[in-house]
Amino acid sequence: MAPRVYLQAPLASGQSLTLPEAAFRHLVQVLRLRSGEAVTVFDGRGGEYDATLAAVERRSATLQMGDFHDVERESPLQLTLVQGLSKGDRMDYTLQKAAELGVSAVVPVITERCNVSLDREREARKFEHWRGVLISACEQSGRTRVPTLHPLQRYVDWLDSQTAGPRYLLDPMAARSLARTPVPDAPLSLVIGPEGGLSAAEIHAGTRAGCIGVRLGPRVLRTETAGVAALSILQALKGDLGDEPG
């Protein structure tokens, strides 16, 4: 299988273009591809292209675009993950797996128990880093669209925002099981707390804002584990996990 790479610029069959620095580093310096080797390219607008490395120089490479394939690997479930900010690798892991599991969008939120402090400069760098994590996961998993990454915001501000469809909030003390909760044919949001979870006040605020409290089971999961488990359940119930190949 040819390596896949995301290019932000709009693509077209027959186009010849110089690889951006990040794509050059990945394909040529890391994967050691040479002139004439095949690559699969997508621009996030749906579908993907065959392409060939037409020329590889020491510091640059040219890509020749080939046929377009109108493939669709996006989940029918329009799911937004509202994730409490967690430290370093935990946040990266959550975003990576969320992209692999087909989320449409991610909203990182600051909650009472977030043990991370970001100034504006660090926040901007984090945003670009998180977007890179999502893109890399889409390249690896075969997705043709990159999930929307919303700016970091306060949890209470997100609660006050207008969002389409139901909002589910993970609460280990909730009476309702996520696996036994009917999932409607509508966009939905899933709220997951950071390390230490959401506070009782935050859960109460979520309920007052219309969130539906749901639990995963009898054990309390780490934030990065909870995300994988909950997203897998929702994709199995209403998404495309377990679908027969088309």
Work out whether the CA dihedral 162, 166, 169, 174 comes out positive or negative. positive
Coil/strand/helix, residue 70: coil
Residue 26 — pLDDT band, cuts 50, 70, 90? confident
Q: If we measure between CA atoms, which residue out of 169, 177, 167, 168 comes closest to residue 215?
A: 177
DSSP tally for the chain: helices H, then strands E: 6, 12
pLDDT at 9: 85
Residue 209 — pLDDT band, cuts 50, 70, 90? very high
Which residues are within 8 A (CB) of 64 and not within 5 positions of it... i.e. 6 or more apart? 15, 16, 51, 52, 53, 54
- Range 94-117 burial, b when 16+ CB lie within 10 A, else e: bbbbbbbbbbbbbbbbbbbbbebe
CATH topology classification for 79-238: Alpha/beta knot (3.40.1280)
CATH architecture designation of domain 4-69: Beta Barrel (2.40)
Residue 96 — pLDDT band, cuts 50, 70, 90? very high
Question: What pTM was estimated for this model as a whole?
Answer: 0.92
Coil/strand/helix, residue 1: coil
- Range 47-86 burial, b when 16+ CB lie within 10 A, else e: ebbbbbbeebeeeebebebbebeeeebbbebbbbbbbbbb
Q: Where are the domains of the chain?
A: 4-69, 79-238
